[in-house]
Amino acid sequence: MTDKQLTDRVTEVINNDWLTIGMVVELDGKIVFEKNEADVFPSASLIKLAILNYVLDQQVDLDAEFIVSSKNSVGGAGVLQLLSKQQWRLQDLLALMISVSDNFASNVLINHFGMGNINCYLQANGFSATRLNRQLMDSDALAKGIDNVTTAKESLRLLSMALGHGKKVSRWFANQQSRYKLPGNFDESGINIQVFNKTGEGNQIDHDVARFVVGSHTADVALLTVSTADRLNVIRVFNQVGQLVATDLEAHL
């Protein structure tokens, strides 16, 4: 389909009065669709993309050992809080933060590298909206209105930067366990589309930022949403958008 046809069909899917969205679609590096791309949303777990890029750009030893104390553990997504091992390599904590969206691992990294340093990095690299303002699962801060934030445009750039760090990092996204949103309609169906993505979710919040690869062609999609509707309807929007983009990408072969 043409870029206009894709845009028209995506618009039909997302045009719901019960859904607030920020969205960007790029095909082979060309922006073909944007809507509210600079609007600020609660980031949910997309903020982990900012933490990841900060750490990787410090060029620190990824084999460095971290002692993780269970007394600082938090719940929510992840497995670190369930494991008895206390000594972890930095790259293992990063892998957990991305592939299973581990909140405890994320907080270990925030405590070590510093929230202020991460925000200075974001500002220095042109991220005017994305900010890390609280630790993951900090309900007290959230109750005070303190939250992490990002935009569709900036979260997509963060994903692209992370994937630019090579095969090891890309594998963390390729083995992402939350693949039920943008790639949900075709994932594990036998269709030859590589998916690298990171999701985020919270109360009335659902996000997904993904790269689809077919042959030498790529599609980058960021879809950030806030909605009070039945969550199944929201997830269906992600599935339909992802299917439209994937179908268009395959047609380029």
Summarised one tens digit per residue, pLDDT across range 4-44 is 899 999 999 999 999 999 999 999 999 999 999 999 999 99
pLDDT of residue 72: 62
Quote the pTM value.
0.94
List the domains of the chain with CATH numbers. Answer: 3-251 (3.40.710.10)
Contacts 24+ apart (CB under 8 A), 213-216: 214/246, 214/249, 214/250, 214/252, 214/253, 215/253
pLDDT of residue 35: 98
Query: In this predicted structure, which of 69-78, 170-179, 235-244 has the lowest mean pLDDT?
Result: 69-78
**Which residues, listed in sequence order, are joined to residue 41 by a DSSP beta bridge?**
150
Query: In this predicted structure, which of 10-24, 82-96, 141-155, 195-209 has the lowest mean pLDDT?
Result: 82-96
Query: In this predicted structure, which of 67-71, 104-108, 116-120 has the lowest mean pLDDT?
Result: 67-71
CA atoms 227, 45, 223, 240: torsion sign = negative
Task: Summarize the confidence of residues 54-79 as an average pLDDT.
Answer: 79
Output the average pLDDT for the chain.
Answer: 92
Task: Summarize the confidence of residues 139-164 as an average pLDDT.
Answer: 97
Distance between CA atoms of residues 229 and 14, nearest Å: 13
As a whole-number percent, the residues of the chain with pLDDT over 90 amount to 80
pLDDT of residue 86: 76
Distance between CA atoms of residues 9 and 221, nearest Å: 15
